[in-house]
Amino acid sequence: MIFNRHAEPAAACRLVGAVLIAGMLMVAGMGGCAPQARIVPSGPPADFQPHSSEFRGLAADVARASSRRTLDIGFAADGRPLAVEVFGSGPWTVLVLGGIHGDETRSVEVARFLSDHLAVNSEAVAGKTVAVLVNANPTGAANRTRTNARGVDLNRNFPASNWRPGTAGRRDSPGPAPASEPETQSILRAIELLRPACIISLHTASREGACNNFDGPAEGLARLMAAQNGYPVLVNIGHPTPGSLGSWAGIDRGIAVLTLELPENRPAAECWQRNRGALLDVISADVPAPEAVVRPLQGGRSLTDRVPDPL
């Protein structure tokens, strides 16, 4: 189209406007020259296997791993709430317990260090679920006593095949019956809900007594810890432990149970630094869930069917 430079200015403006409008309409009718949005197929990449059916995709898994969730599992004998802090969404679960003996303060402090570390280091729980019960005996911790509010040693109160009656008033009193204590019942409930492949129970001992003790199929994991913390690997700690968590979960149920005995006379930060690598190595180890944990008891009962309801 040729414009007459001598045409009236108003007419020229009208002509240019018409040309521009026509061009815009033509572009709109043809779909335009701008790139069109592309619909990306949903679902994870073909080479990525999500950790669970509940959380699909890498972004969701990383977000889940980096968050701290709380699972209420019961109450202590005096009514204090008990809850585990859960990280990750993998198919294999590691359960960490601190403070079963209330006077073993370092075990609670190291459990707290671990929980705080996992909260800000999502890569530490990649492919796993990690649950931490920081303080399994809050009343004992508050009173600096080994036992709970009813004077029962919780690590002699599990319904193991080797449980036996004892004398009330002793610091190792097993209670009036197996799993008589609300704290024990709460831990059993957590094990049924989480179905851990491995349990790490934190305790303290004299400096010379620090060790990696194990029950059930956990010798390899104990040696993995020893490579990091330098403590000896012990199949027993030199005296009977009837009704202990290791006896019930490790020997009777076939769960890999590690009892990490920390030196009681060393600062908490030092205990954490020395055992940080040991704990993280066990968490990252490939340990499948033992069949004994998943399979219900005979007659279709579950793990907690042997446990009375909390008082």
The model's pLDDT over 260-290, given as tens digits with 9 standing for 90+, comes to 999 999 999 999 999 999 999 999 998 654 4
212 and 272 in one domain? yes
112 and 193 in one domain? yes
Residue 42 lies in a domain: no
Least confident of 37-41, 86-90, 218-222: 37-41
66 and 31 in one domain? no
Residue 46 lies in a domain: no
The model's pLDDT over 116-168, given as tens digits with 9 standing for 90+, comes to 999 999 999 999 999 999 999 999 999 999 999 999 999 999 999 999 999 99
198 and 275 in one domain? yes
Q: Of 38-47, 178-187, 229-238, give the range with the top mean pLDDT.
A: 178-187
197 and 302 in one domain? yes
Residue 211 lies in a domain: yes
193 and 149 in one domain? yes
Mean pLDDT of 79-104: 96
Residue carrying the six token digits 């700690």: 237
Question: Could you write out the three-class secondary structure of the chain?
Answer: CCCCCCCCHHHHHHHHHHHHHHHHHHHHHCCCCCCCCCCCCCCCCCCCCCCCCCCCCHHHHHHHHHCCEEEEEEECCCCCEEEEEEEECCCEEEEEECCCCCCCHHHHHHHHHHHHHHHHCHHHHCCEEEEEECCCCHHHHHHCCCCCCCCCCHHHCCCCCCCCCCCCCCCCCCCCCCCCCHHHHHHHHHHHHHCCCEEEEEEEECHHHCEEEEECCCHHHHHHHHHHHCCCEECCCCCCCCCCHHHHHHHHCCCEEEEEEEECCCCHHHHHHHHHHHHHHHHHCCCCCCHHHHCCCHHHCCHHHHCCCCC
Residue 93 lies in a domain: yes
How many independent structural domains does the chain possess?
A: 2
Q: Is the pLDDT of residue 185 over 70?
A: yes
Active site residue 291: no
Residue 40 lies in a domain: no
113 and 79 in one domain? yes
Q: Which residue has the higher pLDDT, 25 or 241?
A: 241
The pLDDT confidence band at residue 255, using thresholds 50, 70 and 90, is very high
pLDDT of residue 11: 43
82 and 12 in one domain? no
4 and 62 in one domain? no
Residue 49 lies in a domain: no
76 and 114 in one domain? yes
Percent of the chain with pLDDT over 90: 67
**Domain at 123, CATH number:** 3.40.630.10
302 and 191 in one domain? yes
The model's pLDDT over 12-71, given as tens digits with 9 standing for 90+, comes to 434 334 433 344 333 333 333 333 322 222 222 222 222 233 323 334 444 444 579 999
pLDDT of residue 206: 80
pLDDT of residue 15: 38
Of 85, 109, 261, 264, catalytic: 261
65 and 15 in one domain? no
Residue 96 lies in a domain: yes
Structural domain that includes position 29:
1-35
